[in-house]
Each structure stands twice: as structure tokens, then as C-alpha cells.
Amino acid sequence: MSRPEPREIMPGTVLEFYESREILCGVVMAVKDGRFHVLTERNREVNLTPSRVLHQAEQRLDINASRDELAKKLAEFSRLREELTREIDLEEIWLLLVTDAGGFSPAEIAEFVFSTPVPDNQAAAVSRVLLQDRLYFQAKDSQYYPRSEEAVEQRRAELEREAERERRLCEGARWLEAVWNRKTAPALAFRDELIGSIKDFAIFGQQSAENAFVKEILKRAGVLPQQQSAFRILVRLGVWKEDENLLLYEHGISADFTPEAAERAEQIARAGIADAARTGREDLTSLDAFTVDSEFTRDYDDALSIRELDGGIVEAGVHIADAAEFIARGDLLDVEAAQRASSIYLPDDRICMLPPSLSEGILSLKAGEDRLAVSFLIRMDREGNILDTRIVPSVVRIRDQLTYQQVDERIERDAGLQALHDLALKRRRGRVERGAIILPLPEMHVYVNDAGMIQVTRYDKETPSQLLVSEWMIEANTAAAEFLAERNMAAIFRAQAECRPETEFVQSEHELFRIYRQRRLFSRAELTSAPKPHCSLAIARYTTVTSPIRRYADLVVQRQLKQAIGDGSALYTGEELDQLLTGLAAAQSRVFAIQRKWTRYWLLKYIEQEDLETLNALVLDKNSRFAHLLLPDLFMEANAPVPEKAKFQAGEMVRIRIDKVVPREDTLKIQILETPPK
């Protein structure tokens, strides 16, 4: 079979080329600088590079003829060639050539279809069919190579998948366009699947499995292919709320427990407190024990008590819900609690570490009901010196469920509360003398009610009630750490390296500025299986054990502590705890990030709700271009450009204007107006 050499393209040569995915005929009118000036069958002039030429004919046209005549002739060529394509059975040709390993030109393949010598139109028709073929032949360097039978079957499957994808894109885009424009949407067989893909894109964006598919379907529906668009679609469909927390989806966190875990919790709750569980426990039900929590609390995991003993001795009691009695190591609930790491408290939601049937039921220190606890009984003299501490499994009955506000209101007339507060102050003074650094920041409590209204309350961490609770929790945690460390037992200890001293002193009349500046010098607290000092607390060995319902680390320490109290052995080895800490530290960081980001979201919504326009802002830091600010009314940080000729410095208060707030995008744009009057 002959393989003719490529012919030189000269004026008058008839070419075929792609124009907007369509094959057109044209005649070369002139050749200049390697480019072809061509008149097309549609009587238009174009310039082509050699790479755009699909086929060149042997015959030539007289370029001196009129444009209309040339265009008419070219259109006739194109029509004839299109008709000839219908006579070509490409599969039959492929079957003839499949065993040949070489490549073929369109003219050579045309010889298997038409009589020889093959006229230009027949060769061009074959070229058109080959160019549109995606199954039997593979093009390379102007030659066409027949695919093997196996390759054709693989390619056929690929094309079927592509066709199915295209069908889904078309149908899905029509449905999505109707949804976006709030019109009646047509039925869609894969609606749920598409919604799932849109969800993933709204959450994970470029990292979502169906990223390319969703972006394409959004484009075809006339919607910007962005995560925010996907979110808006899901809101319009009623799949998500306007204030859907995507952070939970992003981290795979759900308020719901697995059916198996929920059933296990119900079994424990139904069984109640067995008589055997009371055996060997100290009966402390006669104590006037009480809890102190916020008015929103439903899972009470710690309580306090105080009683006078002979000889002017006082016994302070810190009673911790005995979650370890009900949640055994390796239990189904234990595995799920380890994955959650902590309860998550959000302005509009609460995600429990343990099922509410337990955390708000048999584990919770509810008033008027017998509950199992681990009690820290701390004997002290009136000066706050600790004489001894006993840690005992116990049975307690809470007399009162107090809020922080109620404690503050009663403390001056309640001798027990007053005594606990006075002793807590003395214990704190002792820590400060040993080097403890007390830098209390007020706390913002953000609450969203069922109507979607946002309430923002500022809590002073130095109120009598706050100080009372925090100091006694520190005492119990310290006692647990000392007990385990003295017996060389591993635990989840909390440590903090030496706090760096301030080297750049900046004057400010605002105490908040000093606190923020000092806090940034603190080393990050770490979890470790061996005891190390905690700098800011000025405690040599420290752990946390006072929230076993809410924090997995506390539950683990409680188990280790109970085992040591019981038979002197360790339930966990140091190696086991080191392995556990790797995942636990990451999980806790995730929880903190979710709480911080979602609280900020609602604070931004609060700015919108209250239509806040101007606020005071404390300058935490400043360079020539930007200032880093704290908004004390909301305890939010933000950046703002520094105005020209600004004279304020770090440590001063300025007035800012809120220009733009977009909670969903975490956008807060502000402008600095002036320094407020003193």
C-alpha cells in the first residue's frame, strides 16, 4: 500500500479545519510567514497555523474565481463529504486492521472503503469519521493506529461512563437551575446522591471527592461554582438551616451516638446503681453537698461540701461523679468517648461526650438522688494549711443545685459558702507566693434561644463563686496528681514550661492590655504521661480529674486513680497512655477550634442582630500598616488598617466603625476612627 509524501500547501489548496468544534472546508488564498489565509465555506476569511489543518486535498481551486463561487464550491465539498461519512463502517475497517501494529493515514484507510485511487472527497470523509472516532483508532502524528480488542473494550467502558456522566450533568443542571431560581424542579432519579455531593463540596471544597462534577454542574446551572453557592442551595432545599454548623461536618462530629452505643447507655441507665457498687464506699449522703454551675447546665459532674471537725479543723469536700464505675475501659461507650475527646458546648448546641441518658442521668450529681462519686476530703486548719487529704469512693446526695449568681448572692450570709471562699482565697495566696500567675480574662457566654435570638453575657472570672469553684477544682486535681506521682504511676498530667518574662514593657492604663500581653508569653500547656511542673499554676504535679462526664482525659485519670486506691496497681501503663495522648491531644485541639470558631460566628451574627456600628477597641499590637485590636464589648480580636498620620500606640483605646460583617465567611471589616476621649 502506497504512503504518499505530504504535499506542500499552496494557494488554491482545499483544506479542512476545526472551527468551534465543527469541521469546515476552506481554500488557501495566500501563504505568508508559515500561516495560511483561508476563505471558508461560509464566505469568511480566517488565518490558520499548520497545526490546525486536519486534511488537505490534492485538487486545487482557482483563487481568481469570485468569493461567492469559491464559497459555493467549498460548501458542496462539505455536503458531499458529510454524505459519504454515512457509507463508512468504522468498526468493519477496524476489524480488518486490528492485527496490524502500524499506523495508517486517512487516505490509506479510505482504500478499504472506496475504489482506488481514492478521490479527495472520499479520503476527507474518512478523515472526518476518524476525527470523530473515540473508540477504535488512536491518532498520533497524523497516523491512526487501531486499538487492540482489549483496549477497545476498556475504551468502550470509559465512553459509557463519560456518557452517563454527561447525562447526569445535563439532568442535574436542569434540576439545580430550577432550585436556584426557586422554580418547580423536575424529578431527578439521583437527587439524594447529588445532594450528598453538593454537601461534600460545601464542606470540603477542592478536597471533596466530587469537586469537579459539582463545579461543572453548578456552572451549567448558571450558578457560581463556589462553596457558598452550594451552601445556599442546600438551605433553599431545606437540607440545612441558615445557621448550619459546617465545622461539625468537616470534623465528622455528630450529636447522635451509634445505635449500639445508645443501647448500651440505656442498659446502664436501666440497671441503675447496683448494691454491689455501694459496697466499700464511704457514705457521705449526710453532707450538705451542693453543685455550682451555670443556669444552662444539665450534666453535673462536681460538687462541694464543708464541715467542721474537732479541734478547729475544717474538712472541705470535692465530690466528682464516678463515671469510671459505669464506663469501663474498652467498653463500646469508652471507645466512642475517646473519639469525641470532650463534650462540645456551643452557643446553639451541645454535643455530649457520653449519651445524655447517662451524662444527664445516673452519672450526673442531681439534687436529691444518691450518686456514686470519688470524693476528695481535704482536712485543713483555719489558715488554709492542708493537714491531709483522703481520696475515697463514695455515695453522695446533693442538697442544692446552685448557679454562680446564686452563690454570689448568698455568700455573705451563708457560713459554709463563706468558709469555702475564705479558704480558697488563702490557698490561692499561697500559690501566688510560690510564683503562680493569675491573669483572669472575663468570659463571654453566647447563647442562642429557640427563636434564633442571640444573648451575650459577660462573666467576670474573679467573682466569689468563680474563684471558689476554680480553686477547689485545682486542689482536687493537685491531690490526684500527687497521689499518682507518689506511687510512680503514669497518668495524663498537665504541664507548662517556664513562663517567659516580659522584655518589652509597654505602658497602658488598661488592665486588659497587660493581661493579654502577659498571656502571650505563656508556654503552651501540654499533656504528658509523666509529671512535670505547671508554671502558671505554680504546682509541681498537676492533672485534671474533676470533669469525667465531659472530658475523656479526666475519665482516664479517674480510672487510674480508682485502681490505685483499690488495690495499689495501675490500670494503664505509661506506654499505653503515651499512645492514647497522641490522638487525644489532636482531638482536644479540634474541639477547642470548633468552639472558638463557632462562637465567633455567633458573635458576628450578634453584631448584625444589634446593628452595631461603632465600638471601642483596645490596640494590642501595631505596625505601619495594620493594628491588631481587641473589642472588649465582645472579646473578639480583629485587624484594621492604620489611618494616615495615626498617633495612637499599642495599649491605647480607639474607636472603630464596622463596615462589613459576613458571619458565614468569618469576615469583619472595620475602620479606625479616632482615639476615644479619656
* HEC letters along 235-285: HHCCCCCCCCCHHHHHCCCCCCCCHHHHHHHHHHHHHCCCHHHHCCCEECC
Task: Kindly report the pTM of this predicted structure.
Answer: 0.82
End-to-end CA distance of the chain: 99
In b/e form, how buried is each residue of 237-254, taking b as 16+ CB within 10 angstroms?
Answer: eeebeebbbbbbbeeebe
Q: Helices marked H in 298-414 — which ranges?
A: 332-340, 356-357, 404-410
User: Is 327's pLDDT higher than 50?
Assistant: yes
pLDDT band at 4 (very low <50, low <70, confident <90, very high): very low
- 427 near 473, Cβ under 8 Å? no
Q: What is the pLDDT of residue 118?
A: 61
Report the candidate in 175, 402, 190, 415 with the shortest Cα–Cα distance to residue 304: 402
> What is the rounded CA–CA span in Å between residue 316 and residue 288?
11
Q: Is the pLDDT of residue 644 over 90?
A: no
Contact 148, 94 (CB under 8 A): no
Pairwise CA distance, residues 186 & 178, whole Å: 8
Grid cell 448558571 is found at 222
Q: Is the pLDDT of residue 676 over 80?
A: no
The DSSP secondary-structure symbol of 147 reads: P
Angle (CA) 542-547-548 rounded to 5° is 105
Q: What percent of the chain has pLDDT over 70?
A: 97
Q: How far is CA 485 from CA 112, 488, 497, 531, in A?
A: 91, 5, 18, 7
Unique residue bearing C-alpha cell 448500651: 264
pLDDT beyond 90 at 534 = yes
- Determine the average pLDDT of the residues in 562-591: 94
The answer to whether 233 and 198 have CB atoms below 8 angstroms apart is: yes
For residue 232, what is the enclosing H or E element? helix 227-236
CB neighbours of residue 318 within 10 Å? 28
Average pLDDT over residues 615-623: 93
Cβ atoms of 660 and 631 within 8 Å: the answer is no
Q: Which has the closest alpha carbon to 542: 459, 439, 461, 434? A: 434
Domain with CATH 2.40.50.140 in the chain: 612-674
H/E stretch holding 191 reads helix 191-204
Q: Kind of pairing, strands 282-283 and 386-403?
A: parallel
Q: How confident is the model at residue 501 (pLDDT cuts 50, 70, 90)?
A: low
Q: Give the dihedral sign, CA 493/528/249/226.
A: positive
Task: Give, as one character, the DSSP assignment of residue 361.
Answer: I
- The CATH fold of domain 612-674: OB fold (Dihydrolipoamide Acetyltransferase, E2P) (2.40.50)
> For residue 608, what is its C-alpha cell?
448584625
**pLDDT tens sequence across 84-129:** 999 899 999 999 898 887 888 888 888 888 766 667 888 899 989 9
In the chain, the amino acid numbered 242 is: E
Query: What does the pLDDT look like over 440-490, one tens digit per residue?
Result: 888 889 999 988 999 999 888 889 999 999 999 999 999 999 999 999 999
- For residue 150, the tally of other CB atoms under 10 A from its CB is 8
Q: What is the mean pLDDT of residues 481-500?
A: 93
Residues 6+ apart with CB under 8 A from 421: 411, 464, 467, 468
DSSP state of 482: H
What is the structure's pLDDT at 21?
A: 84
